[in-house]
Amino acid sequence: MTGRPKTPLWQAIARSLRGDIADRIYEVGDKLPTEAQLAERFGVNRHTVRHAIRALATEGLVRTRRGAGVFVTAAPTEYPIGKRVRFHQNIAAGGQAPQKRIFQIEERPATASEGDTLMVSRGSQLCICHGVSLANGTPIALFSSHFPAERLPGIAAALTERTGVTEAFRLCGVSDYTRVSTRISARPATATQALHLHLEEGAPLVYSTSLNADGQGCPVEFGKTWFAGDRVTLTIDGAV
């Protein structure tokens, strides 16, 4: 034959439909084309389309109603990236309930490269916060935030008391902060990452590193974030 289609047809179709939902070709609440129409579009049997739709339904992306059709119930979370990136605001603005779960708060001296990015001397104490971000109860990202502990007295305690980073910063005397830079690439999920994000090992993640600074341009946070690739869309407004 032509080649060998390693991926089953129904998976390819599910992926295609998933992409259409992520691209807002089908908005939340929209009715998908009928199974017969989809079967014709993809050139497959209706059973194959049904298999794909069943997969999307178990993922919670669509809901089927007998006699009515298939309806989009959820779409990837929009996550705006700009000068002011606030997790809670970002998620809440999309009409979803933001939530954070902290795994561990670690304190250790900075390595040379960590010190460079945060503009502190090597060996200066760091406070590192590992956890997961959720929207509407489903995990969307893993994060590990690096804070310069000596510049932010009491940051570790503030992070455990308050859920938001913004509030924790305020307790440490940082009234405002802005995003200096963001770097984005894609990585496969490790076994442990997949576990926490409820994904398969090797599933594509959006890996982002970011630097936040206070009003004087002094770095206050260096963050690494692993977004579940099919559950989040980072958006960048041209104006930023």
Residues in contact with a copy of itself by the rule CB under 8 A: 3, 5-7, 12, 15, 19, 22-25, 76, 81-83, 113, 178-188, 190-191, 201-206, 209, 227, 229-230, 232-240
Residue 228 main-chain phi, psi, to 5 deg: -65, 115
Binding status of residue 3 toward DNA by CB under 7 A: no
What are the residues whose beta carbons fall under 8 Å from the beta carbon of 125, sequence distance 6 or more?
107, 108, 109, 110, 148, 149, 150
The smaller minimum CB distance to a copy of itself, of residues 104 and 185, is found at 185
Kindly identify the residues of this chain, within the stretch 50-89, that bind DNA according to CB under 7 A: 50-51, 53, 64-70
Q: Which partner in DNA, a copy of itself, none is near 204 (CB below 5 to 8 A by kind)?
A: a copy of itself
The smaller minimum CB distance to DNA, of residues 24 and 51, is found at 51
Tokens 């080649």 belong to residue = 3
Q: Which partner in DNA, a copy of itself, none is near 108 (CB below 5 to 8 A by kind)?
A: none
Q: How far is the CB of 18 from DNA (least distance, A)?
A: 16
d(CA 91, CA 67): 34
User: What is the Cα gyration radius of the chain?
Assistant: 21
36-44, 132-140, 174-182, 204-212 -> range binding DNA (CB under 7 A): 36-44
Q: How far is the CB of 226 from a copy of itself (least distance, A)?
A: 10
Residue 212 main-chain phi, psi, to 5 deg: -115, 145
Closest CA to 76 of 203, 189, 228, 224: 228
Residue type, 227: F
The smaller minimum CB distance to DNA, of residues 31 and 83, is found at 31
Closest CA to 71 of 113, 132, 29, 111: 29
Q: Which partner in DNA, a copy of itself, none is near 65 (CB below 5 to 8 A by kind)?
A: DNA
